[in-house]
Amino acid sequence: MASFFSNLFNKVSFAEQQQNSGPVTEASLRQWLAQRLAKQLKVDVAVIDTGRTFESYGLDSIVAVQVAGDLEKVLEQRLSPALLFEHQNIDDLAAYLAGELALAETKA
């Protein structure tokens, strides 16, 4: 039970840190996704290749839902968990999200 709360606290702290780090850009999204994936895999972020597919890292639907939930907190928007399957890697996903955020800002 203690590890559950510790894990939950770490996720919330991670999302809050990203929210307070300034405007969201494609580069900051790429960095956040690489850090999030490294944390999930328990490896150093330097090991993460942003062009490598999510599937090759062994991500499943449960992890996709978790990552999408964390991204929702950072971006303060509802996102589909299918994003990690629709966009094959960090580079593609960051570019897509940055484009969508820019489009949303111009409409607002």
Reply yes or no on whether the pLDDT at 101 is more than 90: no
Q: Is residue 2 part of a domain?
A: no
Q: Is there a contact between 57 and 33 (Cβ–Cβ < 8 Å)?
A: no
pLDDT of 107 higher than 60: no
42 lies in which domain range?
Answer: 23-107
* CATH code at position 68: 1.10.1200.10
Q: Does residue 39 sit within a domain?
A: yes
**Residue 4: pLDDT above 50?**
no
Number of structural domains (the chain) is 1
User: Quick check: is 17 in a domain?
Assistant: no
Tell me if 85 is assigned to some domain. yes
Whether 90 maps to a domain, the answer reads yes
What pLDDT does residue 51 have? Answer: 97
Residue 95 within a domain: yes
Rounded CA-CA distance 98/33 in Å is 13
On whether residue 102 sits in a domain, the answer given is yes
pLDDT 10s digits, 33-86: 999 999 989 999 999 999 999 999 988 888 888 888 999 998 888 888 788 889
pLDDT tens digits for range 8-41: 344 444 444 544 556 788 999 999 999 999 998 9
**HEC-encoded secondary structure of the chain:** CHHHHHHHHHHHHHHHHHHCCCCCCHHHHHHHHHHHHHHHHCCCHHHCCCCCECHHHCCCHHHHHHHHHHHHHHHCCCCCCCHHHHCCEHHHHHHHHHHHHHHHHHHC
Residue 4 lies in a domain: no
pLDDT at residue number 90: 96
Residue 3: pLDDT above 60?
Answer: no
